[in-house]
Amino acid sequence: MSKIIFVTGGARSGKSKLAEELTMQFGAPLCYLATAQALDGEMDERIQKHQQRRGENWKTIEEPLHLPQALAGCDGTGKAILVDCITLWVTNLLFLYEDQDNTEELILENVQRLAATLRSMSTPVIMVSNEVGMGIVPDNKLSRLFRDAAGRANQILAAASDDVYTVISGIPLKLK
């Protein structure tokens, strides 16, 4: 099993920047496994800014749903793999399963598959996820379901990781 690092924090906390720095310590070439989908112009612009910041040492693979399979497919193709981000992946799964009676269970089955894949990797993996449980209780069922699924996903993946960081106002704090 290779090194697994989990980076969490609030929106715009600096977690992606820290994760990129941690990933670059393994040397090039690097793999960036993106879960975001450019569904509008603003998101497309965000994605382009991230790509420009990373530079040419990164091979980008976009996979919004089948993250465990994509991660396994990247194993051995670079010195390290950055997955950004788990929260968007959970969102994508939420919309895929939202009409099911067991939506959260289906999402967490995917997260468990990801955790199992992480244990079998030979390439170091760094994951980014938002900390979503520190605010008010959402006012609708779908938002509460998202918060619960994302929080449980973070717990599962943090437990499966060797190192865990949180980032607050650009300052990283190593938790594990």
- The pLDDT tens digits of the residues spanning 128-172 come to 999 998 888 889 999 999 999 999 999 999 999 999 999 999 999
Of 4, 50, 89, 92, catalytic: 50
CATH topology (fold) of 4-174: Rossmann fold (3.40.50)
Cβ count within 10 A of residue 102: 10
Which pLDDT does position 112 carry in this prediction?
Answer: 98
Which pLDDT does position 133 carry in this prediction?
Answer: 84
In angstroms, the CA 19 to CA 62 distance is: 17
Q: In the structure, what pLDDT confidence band is assigned to residue 42 with cuts at 50, 70 and 90?
A: confident
In angstroms, the CA 134 to CA 151 distance is: 10
Residue 50 bears catalytic tag: yes
Domain ranges of the chain: 4-174
Query: What would the mean pLDDT of 35-39 be, rounded to a whole number?
Result: 80
Task: State the pTM of this model.
Answer: 0.93
